Chain A
Amino acid sequence: QVQLVESGGGLVKPGGSLRLSCAASGFTFSDYYMSWIRQAPGKGLEWVSYISSSGSTIYYADSVKGRFTISRDNAKNSLYLQMNSLRAEDTAVYYCVTTVVHKSTGWFDPWGQGTLVTVSS
């Protein structure tokens, strides 16, 4: 079955960096668009970034643009999120999510279990 397993979360100081990874299995990873979505403690969902199946098309939310970098390695069935210049407001559970794009819309299914990133001094 489809499995998405995130890793790399943890405690980091403001201004620091962290790299999240997502290991995918149970499907042909290279055929699918992928995204990162985050959820601050007790808060709602916030889309962070999107990458096309080949990696040629990438988008970011304004809140992370210039600080975060999404990438993928289709040979390793892996998705990454490099996070630099981290701020307290980046504290959240980060989900790796398979993204379905159809005509002019897109949705997220399925989701990994998430990895917690805490930015604090």
Chain B
Amino acid sequence: SYVLTQPPSVSVAPGQTARITCGGNNIGSKSVHWYQQKPGQAPVLVVYDDSDRPSGIPERFSGSNSGNTATLTISRVEAGDEADYYCQVWDSSSDLNVVFGGGTKLTVL
């Protein structure tokens, strides 16, 4: 089955740029979606279809996807961005298979 690999943790100082990667075999051929989950809360969609933002999500959140790596970029990081982030792909080639990455803990220093 398809595997998505994320770094367990990323640390960044406030005001800097955080990049969270999601690796997968030829992931550039798939659409990647990203979720933010703060402690004790349900996940929230922050990027869909590689680089689109739902309404209400700040422009500081952006995404890209090429080759074997998709990336969630958070510009001008704020303390409130500290959370777990998950990537996700959808494979409906045969039976449906929805895959999540293992998650990345973003720490704002």
Contacts and interface: CB of A to CB of B under 8 A. Distances in A.
Contacts of A95: 42-43
Given A44-B86, A44-B102, A105-B90, A59 B95 contact: yes
Given A45-B35, A45-B103, A105-B31, A114 B42 contact: yes
A95 B92 CA distance: 21
B80 interface: no
Interface in A39-59: 44-47, 50, 59
A31 to B, nearest CB: 18
Contacts of A109: 44-45, 48, 54
Interface string B87-106: 01110100110111111000
Interface residues of B, number: 25
Interface in B36-55: 41-45, 48-49, 54
A28 interface: no
Contacts, number: 62
Contacts of A45: 35, 43, 86, 88, 100, 103
B98 A106 contact: yes
Given A105-B90, A111-B42, A114-B42, A59 B103 contact: no
Contacts of B102: 44
Contacts of A50: 96, 98
Given A44-B102, A44-B103, A50-B98, A107 B33 contact: yes
Max chain B C-beta neighbours (<10 A), residue from A59, A95, A108, A114: A108
Q: Interface residues of A toward B: which range?
A: 20 to 34
Given A105-B31, A111-B42, A44 B101 contact: yes
6 contacts: A44-B103, A47-B99, A47-B100, A100-B48, A107-B33, A113-B41
Given A45-B35, A47-B99, 19 more contacts: A44-B102, A50-B96, A95-B42, A104-B90, A105-B31, A105-B89, A105-B90, A106-B90, A106-B98, A107-B33, A107-B45, A107-B90, A109-B48, A110-B42, A110-B45, A111-B42, A111-B44, A112-B42, A114-B42
